[in-house]
Amino acid sequence: MASPIRSKRRSIARTVALAAVLGVASGYVIFYGIFPVSGVPASGEASVPWMLVLLGVTSILVGLATENLSEMIFEVFLGLLLGGAVATGMALSPLLVGVVFVSPDSVPAFLFHYGFLLFVLGFVVDLVGTSTGLALRERYFLRRGRPVSFRPERK
């Protein structure tokens, strides 16, 4: 039997890891929305359907892995903060090889100014997607009466 401290640590680690997945997806969408030539697929303008699919699929999968509603809400808010950090890191990455287009101290403000609607889009899609994933998990993947088995039933 696991100790309560160990299970609490495991729960916190799982919550932070799932929030990191949301943060990486949100950060990439913000970066791709502002710099579409640097993203995949490289194009002249950012593809909103591609951003919605990326955010939606990621958030539904995170919702399927989430255990309860309070963890889900914390993951979405933490993912929003991590998304800003990931977008800033991706925007500052040319500095590592010596390419300087703007001063490093203005990059976070630049990203927030031009990417504010993408922050809002990411937050809303993450909230709706994780709620959908959690609802799917509760409805279809958790059976209280019997354990989940992938073997054929014996008669």
Residue carrying structure tokens 């979405």: 76
Q: What is the CA radius of gyration of the chain?
A: 19
Domains in the chain: boundaries? 4-141
Whether residue 52 is predicted with pLDDT greater than 90 in this model: the reply is yes
- What type of residue is 97? V
pLDDT band (50, 70, 90) for residue 18: very high
Whether residue 132 is predicted with pLDDT greater than 90 in this model: the reply is yes
Sign for the CA dihedral angle at 111, 113, 115, 120 comes to positive
Q: What distance in Å separates the CA atoms of residue 144 and residue 155, rounded to the nearest whole number?
A: 21
pLDDT band (50, 70, 90) for residue 23: very high
Q: What distance in Å separates the CA atoms of residue 77 and residue 22, rounded to the nearest whole number?
A: 10
What local confidence, expressed as pLDDT, does residue 143 receive? 59
77-81, 106-110, 121-125: which has the minimum mean pLDDT? 106-110
Q: What distance in Å separates the CA atoms of residue 63 and residue 148, rounded to the nearest whole number?
A: 19
